[in-house]
Amino acid sequence: MNKGIFLLLLFTFTVFSAQKPVQIAFLSDVHFQDLYGSFSDNNFKGIINPKNAKPTILRTMNSQLHSTRIFNENYFAFLKALDDIAAKGIKIVAMPGDFSDDGQAYNLRGLHKILDQYHKKYGINFYLTTGNHDPVGPFLQDAGKDDFLGQDGNPLGIYSKENMGKANNKIITKDIAESGYLEILNELGDFGFYPKKEDLYWGTPFDQGSYKDYAYEKALQNAGYSKRMYEVSKGFSVPDLSYVVEPVKGVWMMAIDGNTYIPKNLNENPDNPSNYKGASIGYNNVLTNKKHLIQWVKKITQEAKSNGKTVIAFTHYPMIDYNDGATGEIKNLLGEKKWQLERVPEEEVSKAFAEAGLQIHFAGHMHINDTGIRKIGDKMLVNVQVPSLAAYLPAYKILTIKSPDKVEVKTEVLNDVPNFDELFPLYEKEYETLQKEHTKILWNKDILKSKTYHDFMLFHLKELVRLRMIPSDWPKDLVERSKKLNGENLLLLIQDKNQLTQKGIDSRTFQKWSFEDLILDLYKFQSADELAKKDIPKERLQQYQTLEKLFEEKQSQDPFILQLKSIFKILSLLSNADPADHFEIDLKKREIKSM
């Protein structure tokens, strides 16, 4: 062995052996909205909550139950997660995007205040990267929401200028405008986007220097907004806030800005903020319009290897298909533009980043718990999907770096959150107002009976599936034909009583659940992976396995049977995936095992 390489390996082993294992907590898709914030140009501070007499700026329950995320209770979940992290003694927190509701100034200020408090009190250092909600577009743009809650229980509109929105009651404040990169950098620069003196290394994709000639003063110069621009399309320059930082000796954190804002009209003024498409598609657009990121990753991983550093990357967007091999089946059943399939990264994405040398990547965006693995030649890339605190299953991840070759990932679920029900009296008022106006009640008031945050988020998922997912994604003929069926009905579609008796199956025990339960459980597995099993009766899980097998064996060309067969195939794939709760990644052996 080359003497230099031997000494480097010996040094790296000594560093990891001597120090306490480095731990990093990942909090993704917090979607922070400052319930108790204020506007700089308007005296409105919210509506008074009768429970605590506090003025509160909140969105309606109706809006929450039609969205893939909640807007209000996640405020308390965020504080609970930070308290947990502080109690565990973790000093590094990475936030892979969508840290705010939509990058509004008052939300960014509120987030800054909380992060600063936990940094000063507990010594926690926060490292943020951008998501498609922060910023919504590359430059500041007017915006607003129709669905804040007014004191009388009716919706209240809050907009950044007059003549916007459809709400009758409205508040005008510039603080509801959607910030661009510049505003985010100015407000949250202290949380990774700029270097700090205590950082051992910090750089961007636009740096020409190397680790060995690193100097804080030079890094600070290179961190300026104007130094971090690239041409996304000819004539259109937009920012890229990616950075790499060494917060503790031996660990490089790569915060990749995966947002790719492509112009809608190439003849339009590049400074027009409304002329850019959203970034929600993620890495598929990086391959075509932001290729410099791949070259940067390759440069950093090579430099890290030469200097005995462990690279941990985090971005808002997944690098690996997160549907556990079910994407093709979902596409056949629902169609190409359903189930948010446009967000699924192409295989070329994982291939490009694996070949660039990336091994461990944490992502958000999809509000799901999942682990994806791709092995390409002698390389392996692991994509860890961090759940959202604002959706089922509310959780965050803890990474423990045991050695350069072994890391441990643990999922911390937020079952109990103090004060999660603090806003319930305001929702009661919303519901009463809807009743008085004889408006159709779209949401189920029983959600206000939730005893825990876990139960609240599970109820949110149930209502989301009922009010949005089924109507928008599922074939109407399938839903109509299935809605009155229970488990026994599904069983008897493919087996008669005699066949079931021969197999020792009692069909009557399948009567306890409906087709609606089946679809909800499908979404539980999509959202929580193996952790969904805790929220589904054990007997039903066993019955699903029976039906999966029987539908797989059934030879039929009946379109309805084929649809049901597809559902059980998807369920089987989603419920039997790679470890996603508590597991160890062995980079040397290129394997993952549950712990």
pLDDT tens digit sequence for 528-556: 999 999 999 999 999 999 999 999 999 99
Lowest mean pLDDT among 315-319, 394-398, 494-498: 494-498
% the chain with pLDDT above 90: 94
Q: CA 385, CA 366: separation in Å to the nearest integer? A: 8
State the average pLDDT for the chain: 95
Residue 6 has pLDDT above 80, yes or no: no
For the chain, the 3-state helix, strand and coil shares in percent, each to the nearest 5, are: 40, 20, 40
Question: Largest alpha-carbon pair distance within the chain?
Answer: 82
21 within 8 A of 59, measured Cβ to Cβ: no
Residue 438 has pLDDT above 80, yes or no: no
In this prediction, residue 1 carries a pLDDT of 53
Instruction: Name, in order, each residue with C-beta under 8 angstroms of 504's C-beta and a sequence gap of 6 or more.
Output: none
In this prediction, residue 110 carries a pLDDT of 98
Mean pLDDT of 220-226: 96
Residue 79 has pLDDT above 60, yes or no: yes
In this prediction, residue 20 carries a pLDDT of 84
SS3 323: coil
Mean pLDDT of 372-390: 97
Q: CA 157, CA 1: separation in Å to the nearest integer? A: 68
Residue 293 has pLDDT above 60, yes or no: yes
pTM of the model: 0.95
Torsion angle (degrees, nearest 10) of CA 131, 135, 139, 142? 150
Q: CA 89, CA 92: separation in Å to the nearest integer? A: 9
pLDDT class of 437 with cuts at 50, 70, 90: confident
Residue 15 has pLDDT above 70, yes or no: no
In this prediction, residue 7 carries a pLDDT of 52
pLDDT class of 495 with cuts at 50, 70, 90: very high
SS3 48: strand
Mean pLDDT of 59-85: 97
Bridge partners, residue 361, by sequence: 313, 383
